[in-house]
Structures are given as C-alpha cells and as structure tokens.
Amino acid sequence: MTKNKVAVLGAGSWGTALAFLALQSGNEVSLWARDARHLERLQNEGENEKYLPGISLEKIGLCPDLAPILTDCDWIVCAVPCAGIPELANEVKSLRKPNSLLVSGTKGLHSLLGLRGAQMWHTFGDVPPTQYVALSGPNLAREIVGGVPTSTVVASQCPQSATQAQKLFSSPLFRVYTNVDLVGVELGGALKNVVAIAAGVCDGLGFGDNAKAALMTRHWREMTRLAMAFGAKETTLFGLSGIGDLFATCASPHSRNHSLGVKLGAGETLSQAQCEVMQVVEGVHTARAALKLAGEKGVELPVTSELVALFDGKSVRDVIHSLMNRQGRSELED
C-alpha cells in the first residue's frame, strides 16, 4: 500500500473523522485548523474532546500553519464549512503542489454565492476539475470512528481521480464507491441537510412517523427536482449521497441538522437553536441558497420556502397550515 501525505483542513467532528479514516488506511496525516488555541487543546488532551471525544490523535500531526503541511502533501482533504471555503481556497492556491488532489467533505452551498464546493475551489483556489473529488454519503462522524460499518461515494469529473480517492479512504469498515456525477453527489449531500432540519421540526413537534415520512418524501422530491435542473442524474439522488445520507441525517441524534430542527419544532428561535448545537449547521445556509438557485431555474420548493420562513420568524403553526393547504396536485407532477 502506498503511503500518502494527507493534509486535513478543519478540526471539527467531520475533519477529525476524515483524518482518522485516512490514518486507518495507512497514510501520514496532518490536521489543520485556523484556531491555534483549539489545536493546542487537541495537543494537550490527545483527542478532540470538544467535537469528537474518545479518539486518539497521537499519530496525527497537528499544525496551525498551512504552508508546512501543504507544500509536500499528496492529498488535501477539506472539512470546513461552506462559508469559509472562498478565503481558505485563496490561501491554499499558492501553497498547493501542482499535482496534489483535493477531496471536499463539505456538504452545503454557500449562502451568498449559491456555489457548490467544486465551484468554489475552482473559482477561488484554481483547483482543476480533474484534481477535485467530492466525498458524500451516510457518514455520521461518531459512528465512523466508533467502527460501525458504512459506505460513502467519491465523485469527480475525472474517473481516475475518483478511483484514487476510493483507494485513499477504503478500509474493511468503510466501503467507498465512485461516481462521475459530481453535481448530483454535491447537491445531494448539501440539500439533504435541509430535509433533515424539516424532519427534526416534525420530531420536535411530536408529530410521529406518518407526518415525518410524508415530509421527507415530498422534500426529497424537491431536492431531486432542483438537482436535476442543474444537470444531476436522478439515479445519483437515489444513491448514497441522496437517499442514503438523507435517511441517516433525518433520523440520527448525532446529526446537527436534525438536532437544530428538533429545537425549532420545540419552539426555540433559530439563534437559540444554533447556539445550543454549537457547530455550523449547513442546512440553514443551504436552504437559503437553494431558494436562490430554484429561482434561477423556475423550480418550486414549497417545503424549503416554508422552512426559510420559519428561520425568519414565521410560526410553526402557520408553516404547517401553509403546507397542508396548498392546492391539490398529482404526486407524479413536477
């Protein structure tokens, strides 16, 4: 097995899990975060006690500076929130080896720009499409590091890059599939977070399984319509980055998007819920970005629209009334 040098950017729960996966596959791994004090705590504690406790970081290098870990690394793995990618990509641009590959584990859309990870890394970081890979799927960080078997998908416009990423992360407990539908994989991974918040609202309201199942199904149709309008394949949205990730994120107490939705359903404001979740909830920003993209393509997103209205102060009672009293239509109508 070839030993690669891997630089993981972002030391939250997901970044720590990706560093763990890369290490398990026999690679030399470094972990970076912009907050030097956070990295110092990781060094002193020997684990990421704040975001993903119980996993030893003894064999992972911790570095507050980008230059030392990027100048000779083979792989850059990004696990920072969407909002931080433009600035980070611009910094990475002058430090990245010309032949290094970049894997994005970020699942979201930039709230102001409406861009996917691939678009941001190309625009701000000059990363060629052939050297970019997106990783997505039902991959809850706590379960991955706990040794629970799961699968993921890596997508790139370049099949060879996807295959290389497949080898980088594959292990007996982490099965990796490849895909060339980059748009579908990135939009599936981003938009399912919006569905997860809505599902959490149902749970917070105590609505039970009927309501939650109906909402998840109709909201999945929304995300599929929008993704296909931008060139995604419907089969991709039926796969790991679509329905697979949706099932996991909508049901798990480890999902920050679902957790935020539960708090909203219980009557908390968006700011209160975000403070309690403590980590970035990508679904909030993605919901707003999705509405902008839908406007560009003339795609109707009723559940997403009402969810954003809830973020902005509309009562849960009025949101439910608006959704349940829409004009009747065929289930097959898009």
pLDDT (tens digit per residue) in 117-164:
999 999 999 999 999 999 999 999 999 999 999 999 999 999 999 999
pLDDT at 253: 87
Tell me the average pLDDT across 208-216: 91
Superfamily of domain 183-324: N-(1-d-carboxylethyl)-l-norvaline Dehydrogenase; domain 2 (1.10.1040.10)
Distance from chain centroid for Cα 280 = 11
Which pair of tokens denotes residue 33?
Answer: 């975060």
Beta-carbon contacts of 217 under 8 Å, excluding residues fewer than 6 positions away, are none
What are the contacts of 24-29 at 24+ separation with CB within 8 A?
24/171, 24/174, 25/1, 25/168, 25/169, 25/170, 25/171, 26/1, 27/3, 27/75, 27/168, 28/3, 28/4, 28/61, 29/59, 29/60, 29/61
Cβ 220 vs Cβ 199: under 8 Å: no
Cβ 225 vs Cβ 276: under 8 Å: no
pLDDT at 334: 65
Between vectors from CA 102 to CA 2 and to CA 136, what angle results, nearest 5°?
Answer: 95
Residue 330 confidence class, pLDDT cut points 50, 70, 90: confident
Separation between Cα atoms, residue 130 and residue 124, nearest integer Å? 16
Angle between helices 302-311 and 316-324 (to 10 degrees): 170
Separation between Cα atoms, residue 214 and residue 290, nearest integer Å? 21
The residue ranking higher by pLDDT, 330 or 73, is: 73
Angle between helices 209-229 and 302-311 (to 10 degrees): 110
pTM: 0.94
Residues present in the chain in total:
334
pLDDT exceeds cutoff 60 at 251: yes
pLDDT exceeds cutoff 80 at 89: yes
Write down the catalytic residue from 5, 93, 97, 192: 192
Segment 6-31, tens digit of pLDDT: 999 999 999 999 999 999 989 999 99
Kindly list the domain boundaries of the chain, sorted by start residue.
5-180, 183-324
Cβ 15 vs Cβ 30: under 8 Å: no
Which pair of tokens denotes residue 267?
Answer: 């009557």
pLDDT exceeds cutoff 80 at 184: yes
Is there a shared CATH topology between the 5-180 domain and the 183-324 domain?
no
Instruction: Give the right CATH number for 5-180 from 3.30.365.10, 3.40.50.720, 3.30.465.10, 3.40.1440.60.
Output: 3.40.50.720
- 192 catalytic residue (yes or no): yes
Count of other CB atoms within 10 angstroms of residue 163? 15
Question: Measuring CA to CA, how many Å separate 150 from each of 146, 206, 219?
Answer: 11, 29, 24
Segment 27-69, tens digit of pLDDT: 999 999 999 999 999 999 999 999 999 999 999 999 999 999 9
pLDDT exceeds cutoff 80 at 259: yes
pLDDT exceeds cutoff 90 at 201: yes
What residue has token string 């969407």?
Answer: 82
Tell me the average pLDDT across 176-190: 97
Residue 2 confidence class, pLDDT cut points 50, 70, 90: low
Grouping H, G, I as helix, E, B as strand and the rest as coil, residue 115 is coil
Separation between Cα atoms, residue 286 and residue 291, nearest integer Å? 9
Q: Considering the chain, what is the average pLDDT of its residues?
A: 94
pLDDT exceeds cutoff 60 at 267: yes
DSSP letter, residue 78: E
Tell me the average pLDDT across 306-321: 93
